A = this chain, B = another copy of it.
């Protein structure tokens, strides 16, 4: 059933297949009179773009976005913003194997069984290429949120190698090809991922996204909680297998005393929390602290080692995936996670305004 839309007040719908003519998104509900140019969107697409280092797929896609509607004389009009990115470098000639064999870990088998048909070229609709549309929508969401809200993502673990959080430096995330906030760890990953890449293997990763400047009060309990919407949002990203808010799974090991985020009053009368185990959300509503979300990405399923599988006719066979793939899809998931955070927050900013004014 129709499932290609996300959000309620700020709502986007994406379309397009990896090796089709184009991909795109329609963003509906955008507040009017926001300045918006293609360049505003392009800068975020460029962060996600493939082929920027040897650690991501070498597919050459300029990922140039066009705004087809909803903007007039440089301002949004309140009508749907239609965005299109043409596919350039499909290399679609030879799909022999992938057309008939199901790649383990990919959506080949489930799409085929659900729909009785699938566009197997480059993964079709299930390809991570679709995430470009999300990043484009996220760029508009940031405009909706305005300068008061800052959304930043970082890669915090690659395979078994986690960063040292004491060395966290946001400025580093633009200084290495991994969006890594810890320069030392980034250097170590470089060596590690070179090995992974050369062996034709792949690894998983963990991404952390933080939103600062979110006021207290966003989120709609009980079923559209800010955290449940974030969990859903992150879990829609390709290859994601886990989502945490604040302390996440570590909270299971805490005592009630250890988990309590105590509160004090600032000299100016505002409220101050002494810790943020909750990740900035209580009862599904933002506390005014940083919103902290982490999600785990499984290793790229496309690898050079043959794996046992079956084909569309019910025969046993094996498959290995050549082609141009990311050894660690987690890297490019960073801007995607930021975009999803932005979209969830823009939606809840507007939803809060609907019910509570202001």
Interface residues of A, dominant DSSP: mixed
Complex Cα distance A110/B286, Å?
7
Let me know if A232 is at the binding interface, CB within 8 A: yes
Segment of A45-53, A54-62, A181-189, A248-256 in the binding face: A248-256
Residue of B nearest to A125 (CB): B79
Let me know if A172 is at the binding interface, CB within 8 A: no
Which of A102, A233, A271 has the most chain B CB atoms inside 10 A of its CB? A271
* A215-229 vs B, Cβ < 8 Å mask (1 yes, 0 no): 011111111110111
Closest chain-B Cβ to A110's Cβ sits at a distance in Å of 4
When distances are taken between beta carbons in the complex, the residues of chain B under 8 Å from A80 are 4, 13-16
A117 & B11 in contact (Cβ 8 Å cutoff): no
Q: Which interface class (under 10, 10 to 19, 20 to 34, 35 or more) fits A? A: 35 or more
A77 & B284 in contact (Cβ 8 Å cutoff): no
When distances are taken between beta carbons in the complex, the residues of chain B under 8 Å from A32 are 114-117, 355-356
When distances are taken between beta carbons in the complex, the residues of chain B under 8 Å from A243 are 231, 235, 242-244
Kindly identify which residue among B3, B157, B242, B350 contacts A245, using a CB–CB cutoff of 8 Å: B242
Kindly identify which residue among B114, B125, B355 contacts A216, using a CB–CB cutoff of 8 Å: B114
Let me know if A177 is at the binding interface, CB within 8 A: no
B356 & A114 in contact (Cβ 8 Å cutoff): yes
Kindly identify which residue among B13, B125, B242, B252 contacts A330, using a CB–CB cutoff of 8 Å: B252
* Given contacts A111-B285, A314-B269, A356-B78, A247 and B241 within 8 Å (CB-CB): yes
B263 & A355 in contact (Cβ 8 Å cutoff): no
Complex Cα distance A82/B20, Å?
11
